[in-house]
Homo-oligomer: A and B are copies of this chain.
């Protein structure tokens, strides 16, 4: 066990989203975070764990659906049983993070938690650690802190955080006030943000005292906070299952951006640390292709065990989860995802539309491939 960044620091990994824009690779039973999308030899979940362990030691709490208990514990043998929080059904990020915070704060009232998605790719762990340490220092001052990523292009697939004045925080020279949160912008607005140099990508990372985070939630969304507190109160008792059964279904489904971060920005309680590392949420196959082609537009990247790909003058991405031989002849910027029971062919420009195909599949009753 490594010495943690701060003895009271707890990392939370919500391992929730299915990543339906990555269908047919990512599925309900085998979601995105279980795949080695970064090409490290480990799943994204294990990469996330390995990135957080030097900062949090064994204080890492994973929140996942009951259906993924077996695979998550198999992937993370060092995860303590008491640090695995199982959700009976998906309720979006507020429920996952707030429940973890509410459980942790009852075990350690001084806890500072940091929440980091299980399925993002970060390529510079040292700079990531530096940003988290500044965020912890800023959280100690009572702020809810996010780490914003310096944009490298006018991306329209990410949300943006506007940076305000510098905050004078000990141990956090780069802490700034976070002024606004903006949803995925239109292309012209994204270009403005990129040029203006006052906006960072929202990477969904939140660091705060558990107590501060929960107080913010209780103020803004008592309807969420109340069942969460009830469940957390019973969590480390023999009443857990009964209370979860009674309360979980009452929790509204809402993203932490709306329930906590945006109101905190309005209350001047939100801070941001610029993260000077490369980050991607690999939200679709265009992002996955970008990651593996590293900007080389004439390359056909290949992902998957035992892939057999024959390429003649093609570029883009092939994900091979079958043993089929795949021949790709003269097609540019293509995305091919081949699995045992489903095949997707699209291109980078249409990668976001994959979600609507998944919805069509659900509507037409072909759920066997979801």
Contacts and interface: CB of A to CB of B under 8 A. Distances in A.
Interface in A305-336: 308, 310, 312-314, 323-331, 334, 336
Interface stretch (A53-61, A84-92, A346-354): A346-354
A344 B325 CA distance: 8
B327 A342 contact: yes
Nearest to A350: B330
Name the prevailing secondary structure of the A interface residues: mixed
A3 interface: no
A286 B325 CA distance: 21
Q: Say which size band chain A's interface belongs to.
A: 35 or more
A357 interface: yes
A341 B323 CA distance: 7
B343 A343 contact: yes
A369 interface: yes
A329 B312 contact: no
Contact of A347 (B326, B331, B357, B364): B331
A336 B345 contact: yes
A40 interface: no
Contacts of A369: 325
Interface string A19-63: 000011000000000000000000000000000000000000000
B326 A343 contact: yes
A361 interface: yes
A366 interface: yes
Contacts of A366: 308, 325
Contacts of A346: 327-331
Contact of A360 (B310, B343, B349, B357): B310
A297 interface: no
B327 A357 contact: yes
Interface centre among A326, A331, A340, A342 (most CB of B within 10 A): A331
Interface of A: 23-24, 308, 310, 312-314, 323-331, 334, 336, 338, 340-347, 349-350, 353-354, 356-357, 360-361, 364, 366, 369
List the 4 closest A-B pairs by CB distance, nearest first: A330-B350, A329-B346, A325-B342, A327-B357
